[in-house]
Chain A
Amino acid sequence: MSATFLIARRELGAYLRSMIGWVIIAGVLAVDGLLFNAFALGGGDKRSSEVLSLFFYFSSGTTMIASVLIAFRLLAEERQTGTINLLYSSPIRDGEIVLGKFLSALAFLAIVTLATGFMPMLVMIHGKVSYGHVAGGYFGLLLLGSATLAIGTFGSALTRSQVLAAILSACMVVAMLVAWLLGRITERPLSEVFSNLSLHGLHFQPFQAGIVHLRDVVYYLAVTYVALFAATRVLEARRWR
């Protein structure tokens, strides 16, 4: 476990020392701020909870994009620069490498996401919303981010090219996103399967309203687990090749 923590700490340091880390923070804040002003605040009178709901809706988009951008380099970069050999030749399990990398990305995503906190705060000052709504929304964002990051980690394990890793991750995330479209054009029970599989639609909507359902939490954690498990297997398989 301590190896996981060591790797996570080092990786988080790398994010904060690298350009890409700050670019991602700046990008998310800029886009979220724009959307917040244009849509959540603009467009006629709204109730505070509606504004907040909208804020979490478009924040989920930027969170997913940020997650892919954060995760694509995690393992691909290690392979590209050869530092993976350091980890491979150290007495640590492949699972610890993957988990450490993932946790650092999650911590960084948490920093990015919480940096947007001033926007709901503005709503709270000028209107009336519950803390529960804000907390629930952010919890949802982190869960959605966690699942996306895990998929990105898996994509990053697949190739040594960071560009390819980013494209693969993005494709997987988009495929998981648009599953709900398949749910609309298929018949039951297939439609149920597809809509429940979707990364966003059914599972994120309750969070937008500040409602936390156990099944949604379980869904995001399950996606995270499966993707990280797959990434670990990929890493293990590399040793045989």
Chain B
Amino acid sequence: MNTPHYKNILIFLLTSVGLIVLPHVANIPPAMFGFFCLMLGWRFAGIWQPQYLPTTRLLYFLMLFALILLVSHQHRGLLGRDAGTNLFILALGLKLLEIKTERDIYLVVFLAFIVAASLFLYQQSLFMAAYILAVCCVLFATLVAINSIQIHTRAALKTAAVILLQAMPMATVIFVLFPRVEAPRWMLFEEKNKAKIGLSDSMEPGSISDLGTSEELVFRVKFTGAIPPPKYRYWRGPVLSYTDGKRWTQTNSQRFKAQLAKPSYAGTAYSYTLLMEAQEKNWVFALDIPAQYASPLEQNGHYQLINPENPHKRTEYQITSYTQYNTGYLTQLEYQDSTQLPSEPSDKIKQLVSQLHGFDDKPENFISQTLNHFKTEDFHYTLTPPLMEENPIESFLFNTKRGFCSHYASAFVYLMRTAHIPARVVTGYQGGKFNTVGNFLEIQQAHAHAWAEVWIENQGWARVDPTAAVAPERIEQQLDINLLELGSDIRFETSNSQQQENWLKQMSQLWNNADYQWQRWVVNYDSSNQSDFLSSFGIHDFKAMMKWLMALVGLITVLLALLLLYQKKKAIDPALRLYQQFCQKLQPAGLIRTDREGAMDFAQRAKLALPEQTEAIDHITNAFIQLHYGRVSTREDFVTFAKLVGGFKLNDRRLE
């Protein structure tokens, strides 16, 4: 097994194995990855310098080392995704050094397929899928190469690609129709998600600005009908009522009111599909405020949607929301919660409130006065506000006057509460990037926002966004994350720059759309999705599913068989056909040309039997030989030949 043929196969194999493990660099401990690289490099060197390949004893030692490596990294349990991945990668690395027969090559290829599958446990993006598909093609090409006499790299790759392409329709059909059964709980190896950034259940001034520039996707929304205008695009998250003067947290009363009364809705109903990415918290960010939703979603007393069984994976929800609503009366508990202050407000603040007519005017007027104060005074909106350690609200209001949405929201609520108006902070997301290709909104971490809610007689809880007073563009327009630079003043996309959409942006939208469709239809295709989708084709139960699966796989097989096995016969030379006519003409005379008889031999025999036709037979035979076997033959030769055959007749005399 040291022929050039074998070398080529090894190069093929090692390349594809390297490619398949490469994306795991982010997923496995560096020591494991290093170990694998060492094995791979060693084996690569072994192609040209076989004498340096490890001996059996050294292999045992390496195996022991790998085992120690494996055990030392298993603080998270011996079963599960990480442990399994590590195990398979180390096994693959060790097996590489022990390739002796063709069987070992197959084993390596099969192990590589398992490692490819383990990659999908970490990442299911469209890009990863395309990458794995390409590497699978190389793996199959390795198998093609083993089974060929000579290796032509390109031919092997082509064969593998053709087979993969032909396999795709069938794979798709099985994918759609194969029954998805949820694995029983005990089988699930649930892994704690790595610490993710996202909204937290408490807020300190400035905490949201940490999310300010993150492009990480939080959720996507696709509206079935009307799309709400930008100023209504508030995605409701946790409501924070309790404050210690610095930190804002949720209160326990949130479960309470949900049982008592439903708000009344007005205006347009917005129905949409919300595709949440995997979240650490079980919050579902619905458009403010959600009215209809299906289980397992629940609504708490703060009109926030919750999925009690946090699936820890991408999940799809169908929700209907109204942007105009009246939440009705205020309960005693709510009143207590939403007017709570940690201590008596300072004189400075009281003075400001009375200056804004907080104590002697209607709440509506006080609100507009306050917003006006933010607008007219020297307040700025920035992602990097100065640190406010002590007494943040006061120092923000009177000294620094620079802040992000959380500063404005908390300061605003504080002022309201000073005037005994029930108010609270609502966190969530605001806005979203509209993808014109796929017609959906993408909400990223950078869209995290905090605003205020004030309870007003006859209106219920009403949303007031003090940030809008300072930076109305933040609400009306989209925040352009690409242009964001920490420390500088925030720039907003103007309509002017929107017009200059370059192809790069369109490409990125196209890609985002493809990714959205991919996530929605492929990655997220679970049992409920499947039954919905199949019901639209009239397939309702398991039996029908199986029948359709069989029928479609059968149909594809038949089509493929027709395509593959249809074999074109070589076109018969027209000269040969004419010659056969001539032979047929001789049949009545008892002259039958056998399969093995050459034209010359047959002519000999015919001349003996029909001496008077000698000349004609010679002519025809010579012309045929010239046309059928000769190098050069013209169109005229053929015409002459056709005439000769046409004119040939057995002597009538003989037949009589």
Is chain B found bound to chain A in the same assembly? no
